[in-house]
Amino acid sequence: MKKNPNDAKAKLQFSECNKVVKRDAFLKAIEVGDAPSAAEGLDLEHMAVEADYDGVRLEKEMTLEFIDDMVERFKNGKKIHRKYVYQIILAVKDLVYNEPTMVETFVKEGHKLTVCGDTHGQYFDLLEIFRLSGRPSPTHGYLFNGDFVDRGSWSTEVALLLYAYKMLYPTTFFLNRGNHETDDMNRMYGFEGECKHKYSERVFKVFSESFSALPLATLIGEKYLVLHGGLFSDDDISLDDIRKLNRHKQRQPGQSGLMMEMLWTDPQKEPGRGPSKRGVGMQFGPDVTKRFCERNGLEAVIRSHEVRMEGYEVEHDGRCITVFSAPRYCDSTENKGAYINVGSDYKLDFHKFEAVPHPPIKPMAYAASSALGMM
């Protein structure tokens, strides 16, 4: 720029370099904890709930009565009070922050765990899962494998309901992070806009902090590794590497590394590894899955991240299972949804379901205009 101040190409490259430098400085500030929390200064104790608020009141602990009332409010297009929104998000942020990067759980005799894939803001289809499979309870756990938000136009309702159940049943209700529990995706595909429209920008920022605290994987009965995207570019990655990963050091997944691969990769039919059709991450073949499962004593990897027309697909000789729980995705793909029930015998019981009607609000109603062309 000093040599050729009027060079248009140099100007453009200089501008892009400046953006990168600023971004890296911002990420370093986050790593050392310099960035203030959006929750700082929130005085929930003295935040008043107006006398004419017509919903159930939430005290310190979550209750089924509050959840039932919230479910009905959301079905009728109502909101919950902003105090309760903050209260739920902050409580769950603390809960999940203290969980390991890979949660390890077992299914007790007489208990059941239901594994769900992407729900993508499809609130009424989420309620259908609970109707068909049964509501969460101390003996009926759930694991939602990321992508709770974006695209569908009831993302705040989905996230708040899942968080409320996590608050009520912290040891049997599990949430893995997906690639849409990230800032760049939320800005593009609607969650940030929806939070601003229904609540406030600060609600989005507090949600963002809670998303970055979520675990990245769940190990069920030492048999099934559940993570949103898939496997790795390096054959030497083990369950211990996931256990040791400090997800709190890097809030957003970036363009490379273990966290990015856990959130973004996809299976392919061909052996080996290939480039990703998404432009982020890569694809892994049946031989990669076989080696990973054998080295780590696993029966299979369960992942989500991709639409499957029947709601689920078993591939890679039974070792790679995709489950997707947003039927009639974006009101345009005629796919079924699915979920997997796991009992104490650790056999996988697959269930498919159809989309249910919803109010006439289109998908991506709150998305950035540039994302609408990607539908």
Residues annotated as part of the active site: 180
For the CA atoms of the chain, what is the radius of gyration?
A: 21
User: CB count, 10 Å around CB of 304?
Assistant: 30
Give the strand pairing for 320-323 and 300-303.
parallel
Residue for token digits 């996590």? 166
Q: Are 143 and 116 in contact (CB under 8 A)?
A: yes
**Distance between CA atoms of residues 194 and 367, nearest Å:** 8
Q: Determine the length of the chain.
A: 375
For the sheet with 282-284, list strands across it: 266-267, 282-284, 273-275
Residue for token digits 């950035």? 368
Q: Are 290 and 316 in contact (CB under 8 A)?
A: yes
Q: Spell out the alpha helix ranges (H) of 76-174.
A: 82-97, 123-133, 155-168
Secondary structure element (H or E) that encloses residue 213, with its range: helix 201-213
